[in-house]
Structure 1
């Protein structure tokens, strides 16, 4: 028991001291839970969420009327390290809603309809008008749950808002993840990234067929003030309905127009159909 404790402690210290900006992967086997993560799968996730919420309250206090940058950096790192450790060492987090953290806007999440893919994102609170988001991709494949983290460093990354799912002719689900980067109070970028889950990894899927190429990702750079009066948050510039993908068209000043680029799912790819 002592050996297990010291092993977990060593792994935690090692994870906390890894350089930010790199990607790390943890695999949790559903068939070897006791060997892989010990008792952590029996943990009270509601109680752990409460602990994370207290850390987030420290972050909010540090960002109060008199900003405490030192406390903010410490609390932000503590929140990130604690959340990553919890998700990586508890496979049941794939199905846990984290409602309290979402309500307090401490964590943004999106889950696929088949519950095999879940994405987490949270502001590290260390940016200015450009926001920096840490991310975790968590997915289930062949009885194994895998978690991959992407920590923001020089790249601000994006926060996740939605996952659409389509099925190709080989009966494979294709996951379309919607996210948004905040570059300033004025300029933002909305993304759609396509993935499929293979036996070991979350693999980019080239399913967006333009006139000249087939892409894994499409993005829209836009002036937020051109859509600031729209009621939905986050603003939805990329939507999928009845196999029709709509991507907002912007003008030369990056103002969002009332027209869209139209792509239609044919069972294997989204084929570009024009502007409407």
Structure 2
């Protein structure tokens, strides 16, 4: 463990010292991300040591995640920087319309049929730009979802950020949801704006069988309508099948509440 931390530190020093411009930052991040792809490709090499490849893939993800977190907290301009090459390498970048919130998501390639994801969540608090590295670890074994869309909504003298996320657990088991954040006292917090029979929550979520999504299913996704201030999600049967019926939650001034039909 000590040797691994020392290795990460040694690899970390050069980019802290020299990378400062948008171009050099992007180049360094792409280079680090390509190491993830390299070791992922080695998993199918029968001549390679499986455990060594797995360890190297984990190290590559750790180094990339730490670099991305460092750059996005150290250099405020990165929150609005158009990293044109990120989409080409498989690094998803989503941002809010007000330019104050951004999420970077990637597949670590460490989960097999259950995909393991990682994220760096970047946000502005006053004049400061902060970043959070959101990854699984030995201390944090919770499943990490990827993010696909990001919206912002103003209400109650606050700005709320609604992030659509998803998980891939197997070919027959996926999940989607929406999570609401806010920035308070310089910190990113979960905003419990969704009122249900069980109380107040910061998320809506559903699991489903993707094989049930056929041409007869009009929409299997979760959506936020900024004009109507509504969240819409499909009704899922007890067997995990997606239906064409939907549940609507509408923001009524203080909370999102389910629309009664």
* Secondary structure of 1:125 counterpart: coil
Q: CA 1:12–1:147 in structure 2 vs 1: closer, same or farther (change >3 Å)?
A: farther
Residue 55 of structure 2 is aligned to residue 73 of structure 1: yes
**For residue 9 of structure 2, what is the aligned residue in structure 1?**
13
In 2, are the aligned partners of 1:222 and 1:256 still within 8 Å (CA)?
yes
- Between 1 and 2, higher relative CO (CA 8 Å, sep ≥ 6) is seen in 1
**1:49, distance to aligned residue in structure 2 (A):** 3.5
CA distance in 1, matches of 2:199, 2:148: 27
8 Å contact 1:167–1:173 — kept in the other structure? Answer: yes
Q: How far 1:274 moved relative to its partner?
A: 3.1
Q: Which of 75, 79, 85 is the aligned partner of 1:94?
A: 79
Aligned alpha-carbon RMSD (Å): 3.0
CA contact (8 A) 1:109 1:120 kept: yes
User: For residues 157 and 86 of structure 1, do their structure 2 counterparts lie closer, same or farther at Cα, with a shift above 3 Å needed?
Assistant: closer
Q: Report the CA distance shift for 1:54/1:231 in structure 2 as closer, same or farther (over 3 A).
A: farther
Q: What is the Cα deviation at residue 254 of structure 1?
A: 0.9
Aligned match for 1:110, one of 94, 115, 125: 94
Q: Do residues 42 (structure 1) and 26 (structure 2) align?
A: no
CA shift in 2, pair 1:198/1:13, >3 Å: same
Distance 1:14 1:265, change over 3 A: farther
Contact 1:123 1:131 (8 Å CA) reproduced: yes
Secondary structure at the counterpart of residue 156 of structure 1? coil
Q: Normalization by structure 2: what TM-score?
A: 0.81
- Count of residue pairs brought into register by the alignment: 243
Query: Structure 1: which 5+ runs fail to align?
Result: 1-8, 17-36
